[in-house]
Every structure is written in structure tokens, then in C-alpha cells.
Chain A
Amino acid sequence: MTSAASAVKAVSMSAPASRPHRAATLLEARDVSVRFGGILALDGVSFTAAEHQLLGLIGPNGAGKTTLFNCFSRLYTPASGDILVGGQSILRHPPHRIADFGIGRTFQNLALFKTMSVFDNIRVGCHRLGRSDFLSNALHLPWVRGETEEADAIARELIGFLDLAAVSERRAADLAFGLQKRVELARALASRPKLLLLDEPAGGLNHHEVEELGLLIRRIRDERGVTVLLVEHHMNLVMSTCDKVVALDFGRKVADGTAAQVQRDPDVIRAYLGTKRR
């Protein structure tokens, strides 16, 4: 087997089976605000996520969850505040460097490379692990070939992991919604992220599939040593899988704590019962 495949194994082996008691902070949002014209989509949001944590981000429609993810992935730049990953501000780096910070994500409404095959979609996810330039690619120098093989191996491993073998040569756009979501997850994992942002991964899944998804997310965290941020409206999923939950409403953080604490929080209950005001 190639070095890439063994590297995958090495990562899964070395990942801690049980988390250390006092894990270091991986992600810190400091007073993040985002404004779209008249509306304040995020209003001074602060929280932290520890390494290997599974953090749920909840809130009614329009609360600002996706906007926050867009800030973490440098698609939006906050009007004020800062975002630190591993102690470093990601806002001081150009957007294409985001993958190098070890941030991977999926999208609420999918953002696959529609015209490309499932296999190619996942291979693009490996981009940051390669370093070759245009000229050596054009001439197909030997070390480019090594790089390509490594990407192929990573993609194949993920196709096995997420059970996509049957569709790996199909065009992404031709797949059912649920399968496309899985392809997106595979693409995000291909960059070997330290921080994985999942925006409503349970959307469009049935009850049984949601249960499986919960197990899968835990497996990803445990076996791959990834910190996961999970945006979901599916409360059972959030409450049963997350170590910590942050609740947003109208762009503000209204609660932050364990699943049980947040569930009982009066502000959270009000936010959810009060969604009719919109």
C-alpha cells in the first residue's frame, strides 16, 4: 500500500480513544459581528471549542449559524471581532489558506463540483496536501505522479469509509441529495481537517439515516481526531451526540453549555417557541 494509506491508518491509531480531561482550545470566536446592510446577522458572538470536542450550534431559522460558518471558512469577513484557530487569527490570512489551517466544511445547500465525478470531487479535497506547480504538472514530472497517487489513495480510503464505491465514477450532480451530502463530507475529510464544520448534515435524511449519521459523526471525531462543529435543527441528533451546545438567536449567543443545560435554558426555550414571530 502507499504511504498515504498507511498515514491514514497511523492517524486513526494515534487518535485517543478517550479524550484528555483538559483539552486545549482549538477554535475561538471573539466577539464576532457580521452586518448585511441594515441587519446585524451576528452580534458579538464569542465561544470556544476544545480539541476533539463535538460542539452543536443550534438556533431558529435566520439565527446566524450559517453566517458564522461562512466566517470560519473565510467566505465572509466579520465587521469586527476575531477568529482564532490553534491560537492564530485566520482573518489575517488570505481565504485560500483556510485549508492549511485544517478547516474543512460541508454546506447546507451543497456546493459540490457538479460536473465532476465523485472520485474527482474527493480528490480536489486533497489539494492542500500537494505542492506541485504548473510547469511540473504540464510536463508530468515523476514527483507529480507520486502526489497524484497519494491523492488517489486518500480518495479511495474515504470512498470506502463513507460507502461511496458504487457511485465513485458517477457525476456528482446526478446523485440523490443524501448521497451528495456524503460526497461533500468525504471531500471535507480529504483535506485531513482538524476542525470540521457540518452545516445541517441531517437535512433530507429519514429517521434511521439520522441515527446512523450520529454514529458516523462520533466515529469521525474518535477515529480521526477531528473537532466537529455541528449545525442542526434535528434536536435529538444534537442532544445525543454533542459534548457542548451553543445556541444562537437573532445573531446573539443566548446559551452555552452541556446539552442538558442548554435544553433547560429559558432563553433557548423562548427562542424556539417564539419562532412564530417571523
Chain B
Amino acid sequence: MMELFLHQVLAGIATGAIYACMALAIVMIYQAIDHLNFAQGEMAMFSTFVAWQLLEWNLPYWAAFAGTIALSFAAGVLIEHVVLRPILRAPALSHVVAFIALLAIFNSAAGFIWGHGIRSFPSPFGTQPIFGQTLVSPHNAGIMGMTLLMLVLLYLFFRHTRIGLSMRAAAANPESAQLAGIRVGWMLALGWGMAAAVGSVAGMLIAPIVFLEPNMMLGILLYGFAGAVVGGLTSPVGAVVGGVLVGVIENLVGTYMPLLGRELKLTIALVIIIAVLTIRPSGLFGRHIVTRV
């Protein structure tokens, strides 16, 4: 009984690491622009197709991996410049429309270029069981490791570099940041680039599990949102913890309430989002900001 529970928690952590990866990308953009980017999942999916294409062209895995990150970063910067810069001061609804347009564009572009067939995507982590156990597959362990690594790198970047500090400042108060000499527009573009890069890593790690096809990110994005919301939307650590929590909850509900778990899988994510927003809008790690009036 206890063993089943532990097993399911562990498995939940493993899937949760995927959501954590996605939640991390969501939080990065949210921090920079104060909006949730609904196209984030499709951007990650498109990046993953690019990686697949590079692999098809016989690049070694890690070269394709690095190349995809670089291309995604550049694409993120470009999207900010071309699509979002012109509507920077427009109301939130304009942003939502732009995000939905981006979502549709990436989804259909991927279908147009690579077709709608389901493809397999390789895992770089091999098949050798780690530590002689079979509970957590090597790939899932690899996802956890990569997510933690990204978290640490992002933390170091935002804490200890001048540009990282400037990006946080530009998001927190654009006027004051500009006054300090920071080019706020560029910081936004960098934020988009970094979020696209993090998203591409998430996509490449997820694809071996869910298989590669234009709609692969639909469910995952929802769970990523749930993770980000649980974590409070403003904290990268919160995003990772939130993502893992959501994975564990999903797995436990699936185990102990099989009917609910199977039929209403996506509903669980929605219920979590709504529950957190009602009970504790700032999430577990979010900081509540009181506006002085």
C-alpha cells in the first residue's frame, strides 16, 4: 500500500519535471511582460520540430540540441521585435489576440512543413536503469536533472550578472529602469529569447515521451500553466515546485480515483488553476504586491 503510494509519488515527480520545465518558460515570459503567453507551447513544439530536422540532417544529438536552443533564442527575440513591439502599450486583450494568432501560426506552420503524422524523438539519456532501479526511467531522471540545471543557471544569471539584474529591473519598473540607462525594449526581447530557449529545451525533453506532432503540447501547456500558477507566476523556483506538485497530484488522482483520473485528466489541471487562483492568488511562492494609491 505504502509502496504503491511512494511509487506513484515518484512517477508523479517524473512527469511533474516536464510540467516544471514548461512552467519555467511560462514564468520567464510572465516576469518580463506581465502576460501569460498562450503560444509558448506551440513555440516549444516548433522548436522541437527544428531539432528533429537537424537530427534528420545527421547532426549529433547535443549539436542539434545546442543549435535548437540558439535558433529558438533568436526566434524569440525576433517575435518580440516584429509582433509584440508594435503593441507594447496596447491593452491586454490585444496581447491575448496576438498570442492566439502566434499559436495558430506555429501550429499550422508545423503541420504544413512536417505533416501531422506522429514521429518518435530520441532521448539522449539511454536506457540503462539508473541506480539499478526501474521506478524512474533514465529519461525521466534526465528531465529532472536538466530542469534543475536550468533552474540553477537561470538563478545565477538573474542574481549575479549585470544584464540579469537589468532584465529584472526593466520588468519591475520600466520608467526607472530606463532612467538608470537600461534599454528596456532590448530587455523585453532578451526575455522572449530566453523563454523561447527554455521552452525549446522543454519540448526536446518532452517529445520522447509524448511523441512529436503539432498538437503535442496542448495538454502539457495547460499543466505547465497550472504549475506556474501554483508556484505564483513570479518565481522560477515556484514554477518548478509547482510543476512537480501538479505532476504528483495528477498521478495520485489517477491512481486512487481511476475514473476521474482517466476521463477528466485535463480537468484536473483546470481545477488546480481555479482552486489556487481563488484560495491563494499569489500562489505558494508568489509575492503579493500592494499598490500604493
Listed in ascending order, the chain A residues whose CB lies under 8 Å from chain B are 73, 75, 95-100, 104-105, 107, 109-116, 120, 123-125, 127-128, 130, 132-134, 137-138, 140, 144, 147-148, 151, 171, 173, 187, 191
Given contacts A99-B180, A111-B173, are A120 and B168 in contact (CB under 8 A)?
yes
Measured between beta carbons, the chain A residues less than 8 angstroms from B168 are: 113, 115-116, 120
CB distance from A53 to the nearest CB of B (A): 22
Q: Is B163 an interface residue (CB 8 A)?
A: yes
Binding stretch for chain A, among B52-60, B128-136, B181-189 = B181-189
Most A CB within 10 A of own CB, among B156, B157, B169, B181: B181
A132 to B162, Cβ gap below 8 A? yes
List the 4 closest A-B pairs by CB distance, nearest first.
Answer: A99-B181, A128-B181, A113-B172, A137-B163
What are 19 of the A-B contact pairs (CB < 8 Å)?
A98-B178, A104-B179, A107-B176, A111-B173, A113-B172, A113-B176, A114-B172, A116-B168, A124-B169, A124-B177, A124-B182, A127-B166, A130-B162, A133-B163, A134-B163, A137-B161, A140-B160, A147-B162, A148-B161
Q: Is the CB of B181 within 8 A of A97?
A: yes
- In the docked arrangement, what's the CA distance between A133 and B182, Å? 12
* Chain A residues positioned under 8 Å from B289 (CB to CB): 114-115, 173
Within 8 Å CB of A110, what residues of B? 292
Pick the residue among B157, B160, B163, B290 that contacts A132 (CB under 8 A): B163
- B181 and A137 within 8 A (CB): no
Residues of B within 8 A of A115 (CB): 168, 172, 234, 287, 289
> Which one of B157, B164, B173 lies within 8 Å of A113 (CB-CB)?
B173
Contact flags B139-174 to A (C-beta < 8 A → 1, else 0): 000000000000000001100111111101100110
Contact of B173 among A97, A114, A133, A191 (CB under 8 A): A114
Tell whether, in the assembled complex, residue A100 and residue B181 are in contact, meaning their CB atoms are under 8 Å apart.
Answer: yes
Asked if B190 is at the interface of the complex by the 8 Å CB criterion, the answer is yes
Interface Cβ pair total, 8 Å cutoff: 96
Q: How far is the CA of A186 from the CA of B172 in the complex (A)?
A: 18
A97 neighbours in B (Cβ, 8 Å): 181
Q: Whose C-beta in chain A lies nearest to the C-beta of B184?
A: A96
Whether B172 contacts A144 by the Cβ 8 Å rule is no
Instruction: Determine how close the nearest CB of chain A comes to the CB of B29; give it in whole angstroms.
Output: 16
Q: Given known contacts A112-B173, A140-B156, A173-B290, is B180 in contact with A187 (CB within 8 Å)? A: yes
Given contacts A114-B173, A130-B162, A148-B162, contact A109 B180 (CB under 8 A): no
Give complex CA distance A105, B173 in Å: 14
Q: Cβ of B181: which chain A residues have Cβ within 8 Å of it?
A: 96-100, 127-128, 191
**Bitwise interface map of B from 257 to 293 toward A, beta carbon under 8 Å scored 1, else 0:** 0000000000000000000000000000001011010
* With A148-B160, A171-B287 as contacts: A124 and B166 at CB distance below 8 Å: yes
Choose one: A99, A134, A148; the contact of B179 (CB below 8 Å): A99
> Are A112's CB and B184's CB within 8 A?
no
Interfacial chain B residues near A133, Cβ < 8 Å: 163
Contact yes or no, A140 B179, CB < 8 A: no
A110 to B169, CA, bound (A): 15
Residues of B within 8 A of A75 (CB): 175, 179
Collect the chain A residues with CB atoms within 8 Å of residue B161's CB. Answer: 137-138, 140, 144, 148
Name the distance in Å between B48's Cβ and chain A's nearest Cβ.
22
Residues in A neighbouring B190, C-beta threshold 8 A: 134
**How long is the Cα–Cα vector from A120 to B290 in the complex, in angstroms?**
20
A216 to B172, CA, bound (A): 28
Interchain CB contact under 8 A, A98 and B179:
yes
State in angstroms the CA–CA spacing of A107 and B175 once bound together.
Answer: 11
Measured in the bound complex, the distance between the Cα atoms of B164 and A95 in whole Å is: 21
| Cα–Cα, bound, A144→B173 (Å) | 24
